[in-house]
Amino acid sequence: MSNENHELSITRFIDAPPATVYRVYTERTAEWWAPKPWKSRVVAQELRSGGRSSIDMEGPNGEKHPGEGVYLEVVPNEKIVFTNAFTSGWQPKTGMDSDCDFGMVAIMTFEPEGSGTRYTARVRHWNEEAKKAHEAMGFQDGWTMVAGQLAELAEAEAHAAVAA
Amino acid identity, position 38: W
Q: What is the pLDDT of residue 98?
A: 43
Domains of the chain: 3-163 (3.30.530.20)
Judged against a pLDDT cut of 80, whether residue 97 lies above it is answered with no
Judged against a pLDDT cut of 60, whether residue 3 lies above it is answered with no
Strand pairing of 39-45 and 91-92?
Answer: unpaired
pLDDT-derived band at 76, boundaries 50, 70, 90: very high
Q: How far is CA 95 from CA 84, 86, 89, 100, in A?
A: 11, 11, 17, 10
How many CB atoms are located within 10 Å of the residue 119 CB? 24
Q: Average pLDDT for residues 152-162, to the nearest whole number? A: 93
pTM: 0.90
67 Cβ contact partners less than 8 Å away, ≥ 6 residues apart? 53, 54, 55, 56, 57, 84
Q: How far is CA 16 from CA 10, 42, 49, 77, in A?
A: 18, 24, 26, 12
Q: What is the pLDDT of residue 2?
A: 52
